[in-house]
Amino acid sequence: MAQTEITPAVQNDPAPYPNATTTDTGVPMEEPKRRNPLIMIVLALILLGGAYYGWTRYQYAKAHESTDDAQVEGDVYPILPRVGGPVLEVKVEDNQPVKKGDVLVTLDAADYQQRVNAAEAALAAAQAQVAAARAGVATASANVRSAQTSIGVSEANQAKLQKDLKRSTFLRKQDIIPQSEYDAVQANLRATSAQRATASEQVGVARQQVAAAQQQIAVAQAVVKQRQADLDNAKLQLSYTTIVAPGNGVVSKKNVQPGQVVAPGQQLMGLVASEKTWVIANFKETQLEDMKVGQPVKLEVDAYPHEDFQGHIASLSAATGARFALLPPDNASGNFVKVTQRIPVKIELDKIDPEHPLRAGMSVNATVQVK
């Protein structure tokens, strides 16, 4: 039976780690690694840079209010005919620039021209009635003068016959003239008196005729004014058959063709004004505390991501956008959920950049410097 050789236990030899420390059990401890100071400096710089960036962003946020709920706005003229009829010619195309007064559409004017002709004829007839009434006044005035002359003649004859009657009465008492001659003088005096009375009545009748003729003139002149108004209206309706541009702009959404019969008020096209545009930015009500008219605004348009536009606040709306909704919210009924409201703010551009035109409806980011 072989004997097992017993190997003596090996003692821990600290010789290979002369600088290492040992634990109570004699196990050596690893020496801690030395950190690179450059890494510490970089980390410190990063922390300082982040803190500075955060501080500057905080200061910027305190002095500015921004929103992306903003759009470019501009005047859009609806082109509507004021009279109806067939379309003769359409002189523009979609997206065509036009100037104020340029002809856009012409309608068939035959019916309206006939109305003008009829109104001119009616006016001429009314003017003829005025002339006839004035002639009637002249005739009646002449009759007045003639009757007044007859009165004068009758009065002169009456005065002469009254003298003759006195003389004849004296001569008759002296029996110088016969009774027949005396009776003849009396008869002539009575006839002359009757003629004077008739002439006086004729003067009254003639004066009434003058008054009536003057009234006819007034009526005829009123008719002339009415006929003139009818003529002016007919000419105005005729002018409406030529539809012109109300301002400078660009034609949009043309919806009319030659031969089409259009009705008054039917939209034929739109005209987007090119002279002036502005921005409507809807800020939250919590952003308006320091916002005032005249404050500068930086505008970033999505269509021109590398361009900044400068403007200023022109006005702030007197009501929230919800107040102008078709169905305004009624907070008095049902459960109330508080929603932050938005106030429309009108922003005008400081200058127009012709190389980067702003078109109505473009999306905008608006930033207002409030401090």
Task: Please tell me the predicted confidence (pLDDT) of residue 272.
Answer: 92
Same domain, 195 and 291: no
Neighbours of 337 (CB within 10 A): 7
Same domain, 114 and 179: yes
Same domain, 146 and 182: yes
Same domain, 145 and 232: yes
Task: Please tell me the predicted confidence (pLDDT) of residue 186.
Answer: 67
Domain count, the chain: 3
Tell me: the pLDDT tens digits for 207-265?
777 777 777 778 888 899 999 999 999 999 999 999 999 999 999 999 999 999 999 99
SS3 content of the chain, % helix, strand, coil (to 5): 45, 25, 35
In a domain, 26, yes or no: no
Q: Is the dihedral of CA 316, 322, 325, 328 positive or negative?
A: negative
Mean pLDDT lowest among 107-111, 132-136, 147-151? 147-151
Give the closest residue to 148 by CA, choosing from 219, 202, 101: 202
Rounded Cα distance, 219 and 129, in Å: 9
Alpha helices in the chain (DSSP H): 37-63, 110-173, 179-239
In a domain, 4, yes or no: no
Tell me: the pLDDT tens digits for 162-173?
666 566 665 556
Domain range for 91 is 79-109+245-262
Q: Which of 231, 262, 293 is the last residue of a domain?
A: 262
Dig out the tokens for 258 from the structure: 């030659």
Element counts in the chain: helices (H) and strands (E): 3, 14
Same domain, 131 and 224: yes
pLDDT at 49 over 90: no
Same domain, 102 and 150: no
In a domain, 292, yes or no: yes
In a domain, 250, yes or no: yes
In the chain, the percentage of residues whose pLDDT exceeds 90 is 43
pLDDT at 56 over 90: no
Confidence of residue 28 (pLDDT cuts 50, 70, 90): low
Rounded Cα distance, 99 and 120, in Å: 34
Task: Please tell me the predicted confidence (pLDDT) of residue 166.
Answer: 67
Same domain, 218 and 293: no
- Report the CATH number at residue 101: 2.40.50.100
In a domain, 53, yes or no: no
Same domain, 130 and 146: yes
Contact 306, 355 (CB under 8 A): no
Same domain, 123 and 104: no
- Report the CATH number at residue 210: 1.10.287.620
pLDDT at 291 over 80: yes
In a domain, 29, yes or no: no
Task: Please tell me the predicted confidence (pLDDT) of residue 1.
Answer: 38
Same domain, 118 and 228: yes
Rounded Cα distance, 211 and 348, in Å: 68
Same domain, 123 and 86: no
Same domain, 121 and 137: yes
Give the closest residue to 251 by CA, choosing from 231, 271, 267: 271
